[in-house]
Structure 1
Amino acid sequence: MEKEKLIQILWDYLHMNHRLEKSDCIVVLGSHDTRVAVRGAEVFLEGFAPLIVFSGGYGKLTKHIWNSTEAEKFARIAINMGVPEDFILIEDKSSNTGENILFVKDLIDIRQIKAEKLIVVNKPYMERRTYAAFKKLWPETEVLVTSPQMGIKEYLAGYGSGEITEDEVINVMVGDLQRIKLYPEKGFQVHQDIPKEVWDAYLKLVEMGYTKHLC
């Protein structure tokens, strides 16, 4: 029970809880989690922006489980949901969040597309780190972040079988929290205050052995 409480504390902190507004473009960051593609398509179909960009080549996990890039796989999901191909752009070379941002920025600049306000879609536990990275690497743009709309129990239940386990996701969450603390000094993202309760929960999870994705 203590573990569930600690994970919930991290989960709540890692969410930004942004309210979506009309924007210039939706940027969907690739990963192993196809629910992110579904959320990106939902946001487009709800009319929040006229263009959607899928970003992602092969990541640490997907290079072992997929034979197409993350961006291509996500775009196919969106097209099957009714997003017209003419309103989709693909960036399929990036392999981490920093590259996602910089390569999409280059693509937007080359196409001379207005991008004063973005909606960025990622995994739920990556909302805060995504926001912090965008504000560092693309500071002139207003950023709203969103993710699949579900609680921690429902989200983790999606990893009950397959290549990626529930414990693996918890390890990644713990690693992401550590990166929120360390990455500003490396110039990768802007500073984010971490409440003591959140950091204490992180330390306890590390003590429990969730260390596989620590820097």
Structure 2
Amino acid sequence: MSSIATQLGQSYSDHPLRLTFLKWQCRVRQLNMREADGRPDDAIMPAVHLDGADEPLGHIITVMNKSPGYSVTPELEHMARKTHDPAQRRDAALKFLSASYYQKAAEFSDILTATFPPGSDGAATIRRAKSCRLVFEAYAQRFDLSCKVWKLAQHNLLYQATMAHNRLFNPALPPDTIVLGFEPDWSASSSDAPR
């Protein structure tokens, strides 16, 4: 991995679309935690489009992580260790994530992440492409993000934050789960009303 952004968990673009997207994601994710018990919907499950393909490869569930300076990974890991009861873990996660977690968009990395099972053909296909478009379409908003794709190493802060978040909802995640990072190129991305 050569991008300093993926190493630090944050790009440093001041493009106006960046903050617009992060604010929208914070709003829809908090709503999802409060009203849908954290079940993924179209607002956090973009279609993945690879160059040259007529149809999307499929949809992925993305995680939006705090930037390293605002990381709550230790708190998420503590919640997971506190109980072996999946229902109690989920309840603690929903309570934590629906409170003030998503209140400040500026505290979040704009590098989205997604987990894939070990040996995933989909992850391998996306990774080989090295870039893709993530198309989010929900709640009368459409964001088309042109992204560089990274396979994150287990020591990467975003890998650790993603695994800590997802273990609260899926305690059976294998230790060799693949985590891909999607780093938007804001100048090549767009937003408009749904088509």
TM value normalised by structure 1: 0.23
Higher helix proportion: 1
Q: RCO (CA 8 Å, sep 6+): is it higher in 1 or 2?
A: 2
